Structures are given as structure tokens and as C-alpha cells.
Structure 1
Amino acid sequence: MNIMFWNTQGARSAEFRRQFRNFVRSNNPQMVALFEPRVSYGEADRVIQSFGYPNSFRVEARGFSGGVWLLWRDGVDVTILSVSNQFVHGKAREVSSKHWIYFTAVYASPNACVRRYLWDILNRLSLGVEVPWVLGGDFNAILRKEERCGGSSEALGTSSLFQKFIDSTELTEIDYKGDDFTWCRGNLYQRLDRCLANSAWLVDYPMSIVVHLDRVGSDHCPLLLKPNGVLVPNLEWHFRFLAAWQDHPDFRALLESSWDDSSSVVVNAQNF
């Protein structure tokens, strides 16, 4: 189930709807999370209906700020579990599958004091999640100085609270393909948008990749999460080994059936 996350900075215009339909046509996300639509109530109903997704849930925008829209196709079951003005948290599964995933569409406040509450709430939510869980969207924070380029010395710095949240919940960043920076304004570039996952997600979807799509009509580029990987020429590929795999009763048999002494370590890892 492909999921797209996008801080749109306005979903009202005909140009945005055209670009959105192009992204959907090219990438076929079964579920979409849109942030900061700058549209609410009756007008939001009309805009959402024009997108071609028959199911939706939303946290209303407040003028030009806030708002989270979640859209999904009929082939997906979604249950909303918790909401705030900074996230929508729920569970989803394709109707052909018995396996649920947990998801959290994140639209973190640009105010660091308000974001502090987000980390606390998500930390508490993590305590009840034992199935695959992915969090995606605009976290409005960076983790490393390499995630920022240009701008003044007063621009947003690294967030120790964000890193503390990731460490305490034992989440892992999902690898990405595309531009290193997901947000741009003037000569300042930053990686504000990303996807994080728990260990259960990485066990079930070890080939997950996030594609940074082209930035159009917004300072943010859309993120396309592909749990089963993406076929892109020259894609940089990373192998992760989780210690928890060794506890599975079928681990040794799988390893022995996947390993070929005549092949390289890289080939064996890709076949694993």
C-alpha cells in the first residue's frame, strides 16, 4: 500500500488539483495525507471530492494554518484512533489482507514549544503499538546539520527533542531516493519531511523506500512511501539486519535457503 504525504501550502487552486492528479496518476498512492490545505468546511468537501478518492477524514484548517486531510481508496480499510491539530493516527489494511499497519500522518507545528507536546503525545501512542507502524509528513525539525543548506545563521537548527523522541520510541528513518532537501524557501534548503518506522515495520517491509517527488506548487516536496520498494534505475540500496530476526523459528532455514557460497555478499544480501 503506497502512501503519499504532502504539505501542500494550499489545496484550493485549479493548478494544485492538476498537479495532484498528475502525482496520483504517476504513483498510484492508495492513501494520501495532505497538510496545510488552507481550505475548510464546505469548500473542503468540494475540493476533496474533486480528487477522486471516495473516502476521507480531516482535521479542519484554521485559515491559512493547520489542517490535515487523509484520503484513501475503497480497497483500503482505515480506522482513525487519535487526532490532534498536529497529527492523525490510525490503522489501515488493504481489504485483501488480514494484516493491519499503524500510521501517523504528522504535521508538526513550526513553534518549538507546541512541537514539544507532539513528541510527548506520540511517545505515549508508541506504547500501545506492537504491529508495523510508520509515521510520515512534515516534522518541522531537522536532526543533523547536513539537513540544512544556506540561509542565515538564525535559521532553524537541529532539534535535540526530536532526536530524543526518536531514540525513546526506537524508531528508524526509512531510506529515501531523490533530493536531499524536502523544503526550500529562497536560498534556504532543509529536510523537514521524512518517514519513520518501528522495528515491526522494518521486519515486515525491509525494502521500504521513500521517494522525494518533484517540488511543485509548494515549498515542500511530496513524499511517496513504497513499503515494498521501488524499481528505479541506479537506486542506492541499503541492507538492514535486525537482531530480532534471529529469534524467529524459521530464520536459520531462510538464511540457508537464501545463501549461495558462489555469490558475493551483496548478491546474497539482496536475495535474503
Structure 2
Amino acid sequence: MKLSILSWNVRGLNKRDKRLRVSNLLRDWNADVVCLQETKIQCMSRNIVRSLWGRNHVDWCCLDSCGASGGILIMWDTRVVEKVDVCVGTYSLAVSFKNVVDLSAWAYAEVYGPNLDRDRRFIWDELAGVLSWWNLPWCIGGDFNVTRFPSERSGGARLDSAMMGFSDFISEQGLMDLPLAGGAFTWSVSQDPPLWSRIDQFLISPDLEAW
């Protein structure tokens, strides 16, 4: 069964006009599972979710923000997938799903990684624990706030310990890093010279690729 998953760093959803713009785009993209990072909302509500989804048949779970920092929201079409269980972490939000049509079970984790190198080892430990929670095919997506290779960052970056830690996690967990289509980077800052990087990833377990 083919599913469409959208992962997007929205940089805040507190303003009504921002939620309207996001809702209009989500309606156009029509994804089955929608994952939003950096919501900056401390207490997510059903009214906010419905204003974003803009359709019926929605269920959701969230990781509330810490003040105005972070926050993750996962929404899905209940005609396509059903929630079985949820695991809420510090940097991740994971859901085990069952497909409505073929009853296949799988799991998804959305990530919003820390910005500081000293905190990044905690996310790998957290995700390793989450992956052991359910013995299912996995997909992990989101904004990891770190690149894997110097080539994924503009400005002549060199291989550092944060990059190596990310690659070590992927290798140790037996995950596959899906290639990026349509461009080389996922994030930019308009300055002179501009900065570009690929900090958004989708990682899958080999058993999910067989789907």
C-alpha cells in the first residue's frame, strides 16, 4: 500500500493567519500522514488540529513545545491508517500504525533535533530506544538539525563529530538514508554568502523498503 508522508518545519503555528496558510498548502498536497515540527505551541488542541487539517477523518498526537521552542504535531487520515500506540520523547514523537486496507503494521517517528552539539548524543540514544519499542518496519523523518557529510552543507564545512555521530546511528540501527530528490539541500539562510544545508532526512528500515 502506497502512503504519502509529509514532514515540514513550520517555524511556529501560534498565529491564526499562519495556520491558514499552512492549512491551504496541506489541502493542496493531500498527504495521508502530516508531520509538523517547531510548532511552538505549548498546549495543542483539537480546534487547532482541525483548523490545520481542513478536512474530516483526522486523528493526531503531539509533543508540546517547551516555551516557544520546539513542538511536534503528527496528524493522519483515519480512513488510511489507524493509531495503535504512541511514544513521546524529548526530541521525537513516534506512532505505531495499522493500515486500514491491508492491516499492515508499521511505525513512524518524527524528529526535531537539538541545535547544540553537546546535546546531539541524547537524540541518538533516544531514537535507539524508540526503535526497540516496537518490532515493526520503521520510517524516521524530520529536522535533525545536523548533516551527515560536509557536502550537505555549504561554506566548506569539514567532517565533525556531530556528522560522524549521525552516520554511526544510521549504521548501528541498520537504517537506509533515502536520497533527496529535486535538490541538494533542504534549509537555507539568506545572507552573503548564503548558507545551505541538508538537515531534513527520511530514514527507513530495510523491511519497509520492501513495501
Q: Give the TM-score, by structure 2 length.
A: 0.85
Higher Rg of the two aligned structures: 1
Matches within 5 A, 1:7-22: 7-22=9-24
Q: Which residue of structure 2 lines up, in the alignment, with residue 131 of structure 1? A: 136
- State the 1:6 CA deviation: 1.0
How has the CA–CA distance of structure 1 residues 118 and 95 changed in structure 2, closer, same or farther, with 3 Å as cutoff?
Answer: same
Which letter maps to 2:11? Q
The answer on whether the counterparts of 2:82 and 2:99 sit within 8 Å (CA) in structure 1 is yes
The answer on whether the counterparts of 2:139 and 2:205 sit within 8 Å (CA) in structure 1 is yes
Which letter maps to 2:208? W
Matches within 5 A, 1:73-84: 73-75=77-79, 76-84=81-89
Which letter maps to 1:32? V
Which letter maps to 2:204? A
Q: Which residue of structure 2 lines up, in the alignment, with residue 202 of structure 1? A: 209
- State the 1:70 CA deviation: 1.2
Which letter maps to 2:50? Q
Distance in 1, Cα, partners of 2:30 & 2:188: 25
Q: Which residue of structure 1 lines up, in the alignment, with residue 199 of structure 2? A: 192
Q: How many residues align?
A: 201
Does the alignment pair 1:177 with 2:178?
no
Q: Which residue of structure 1 lines up, in the alignment, with residue 124 of structure 2? A: 119
The answer on whether the counterparts of 1:80 and 1:88 sit within 8 Å (CA) in structure 2 is no
Deviations 1:61-82 (A, max 9, x none): 1222011111112212013332
SS at match of 1:177: coil
Q: Which residue of structure 1 lines up, in the alignment, with residue 63 of structure 2? A: 59
Which letter maps to 1:141? V
How has the CA–CA distance of structure 1 residues 14 and 124 changed in structure 2, closer, same or farther, with 3 Å as cutoff?
Answer: closer
Q: CA RMSD in A?
A: 2.3
- State the 1:47 CA deviation: 2.4
Which letter maps to 1:198? S
- State the 1:158 CA deviation: 5.5
Q: Which residue of structure 2 lines up, in the alignment, with residue 244 of structure 1? A: none
Deviations 1:106-159 (A, max 9, x none): 111112222211101212333455432100000111011111113x869x8861
Distance in 2, Cα, partners of 1:203 & 1:157: 32
Stretches of structure 2 that go unaligned for 5 or more consecutive residues are none
Matches within 5 A, 1:1-272: 1-41=3-43, 44-51=45-52, 52=54, 54-75=58-79, 76-150=81-155, 159-186=163-190, 187-204=194-211
Deviations 1:150-194 (A, max 9, x none): 3x869x886111111011001111123222111111211110001
Q: Give the TM-score, by structure 1 length.
A: 0.67
Distance in 1, Cα, partners of 2:41 & 2:129: 30
SS at match of 2:209: helix
List structure 1 runs of 4+ shifted beyond 3 angstroms: 127-130
The answer on whether the counterparts of 1:12 and 1:47 sit within 8 Å (CA) in structure 2 is no
- State the 1:14 CA deviation: 4.0
The answer on whether the counterparts of 1:140 and 1:192 sit within 8 Å (CA) in structure 2 is yes
